[in-house]
């Protein structure tokens, strides 16, 4: 159960860079894939806890565009783990009433895997609980480039005029369209960077960094991040109340 005592509103949308799986595995004398498996377990345990707290959207940076550049054995192990985890978690997510959504370039994945992921996404669309977003083959720069190309094509065809292009239009062409912007970003393992994650959407998010490696991240660590968020004064560039 949550240890949060404040009555200040919790964030609607929390995004997490789940970092440190490889380092955790090395510290245990294990292969990297064991760290990724432990990380998947941490995510499974966090989802129902976040839902119980009233978080509306939880976005997990699961596999980045840049991850394709890792050693082939690690990439293949990750793909197998992602496919297995998504398939095995379907019943649990259904029981929780959790909606499943993917952002990223699914066409980068093997066709059967991409098709299976889309089917899982479609089956969950009528659920009314929390939305869990998996960022798969995701890169914020690539996502923004894709959005701008789509807008440019509409402008070139005369569907829209250049004067109609604004922030709202760009936002509506991103893969996160329809979701509230993240109010809190959590990154584990002590790294202090965004790593091409939700660069547009995180413009005014509160940032929370912890040295805890992702496989060791517990619901209690999540509570600490939420508690930190509730203690901050968000002014969005306006005058701060003092």
Closest CA to 172 of 163, 181, 183: 181
Residue 206: its H or E element: strand 206-209
128, part of any domain: yes
**Ranges of H-type helices in 97-218:** 111-123, 140-157, 167-173
116, part of any domain: yes
pLDDT at 5 (0 to 100): 45
94, part of any domain: yes
148, part of any domain: no
Phi, psi of 195 (to 5 degrees): 55, 50
223, part of any domain: yes
The residue from 7, 19, 88, 112 that is catalytic is 19
pLDDT at 1 (0 to 100): 40
Assess contact for 217 and 188: CB atoms under 8 A. Answer: yes
Helix, strand, coil abundance in the chain, percent, nearest 5? 50, 15, 35
Domain that residue 125 falls in: 13-139+182-229
Closest CA to 26 of 186, 136, 189, 187: 189
Give this prediction's pTM: 0.93
6, part of any domain: no
Angle made by CA atoms 48, 64, 66, in degrees to the nearest 5: 160
**Active site annotation includes 21:** no
- For residue 206, the domain's CATH number is 3.40.1180.10
Contacts of 115 (CB under 8 A, 6+ apart): none
**Active site annotation includes 19:** yes
Give pLDDT tens digits along the chain (242 positions): 445 544 458 999 999 999 999 999 999 999 999 999 999 999 999 999 999 999 999 999 999 999 999 999 999 999 999 999 988 888 888 999 999 999 999 999 999 999 999 999 999 999 988 999 999 999 999 999 999 999 999 999 999 999 999 999 999 999 999 999 999 999 999 999 999 999 999 999 999 999 999 999 999 999 999 999 999 988 766 656 55
Q: What are the CA-CA distances from residue 54 to residues 7, 13, 51 (Å)?
A: 13, 10, 5
The whole-angstrom separation of Cα 214 and Cα 65 is 20
240, part of any domain: no
19, part of any domain: yes
Count how many domains the chain has.
1
Scan for tokens 């509306």, then name that residue: 56
The residue from 21, 67, 112, 216 that is catalytic is 67
């Amino acid at each position: 159960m949550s240890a949060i005592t404040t009555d200040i509103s919790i964030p609607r949308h929390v995004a997490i860079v789940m970092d440190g799986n490889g380092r955790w595995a090395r510290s245990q004398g294990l292969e990297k894939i064991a760290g990724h498996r432990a990380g998947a377990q941490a995510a499974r345990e966090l989802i129902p806890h976040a839902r119980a707290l009233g978080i509306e959207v939880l976005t997990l940076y699961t596999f980045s565009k840049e991850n394709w550049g890792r050693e082939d054995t690690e990439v293949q192990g990750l793909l197998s783990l992602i496919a297995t985890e998504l398939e095995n978690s379907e019943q649990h997510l259904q029981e929780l009433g959790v909606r499943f959504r993917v952002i990223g370039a699914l066409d980068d994945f093997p066709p059967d895997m991409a098709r299976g992921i889309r089917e899982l996404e479609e089956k969950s669309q009528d659920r009314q609980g929390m939305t869990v977003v998996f960022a798969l083959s995701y890169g914020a720069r690539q996502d923004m480039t894709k959005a701008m190309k789509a807008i440019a094509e509409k402008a070139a065809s005369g569907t829209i005029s250049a004067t109609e292009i604004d922030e709202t239009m760009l936002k509506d062409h991103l893969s996160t369209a329809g979701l509230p912007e993240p109010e809190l970003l959590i990154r584990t393992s002590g790294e202090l960077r965004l790593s091409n994650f939700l660069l547009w959407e995180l413009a005014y998010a509160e940032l929370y960094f912890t040295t805890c490696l992702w496989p060791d991240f517990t619901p209690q660590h999540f509570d600490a991040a939420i508690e930190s968020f509730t203690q901050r004064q968000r002014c969005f560039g306006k005058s701060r109340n003092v």
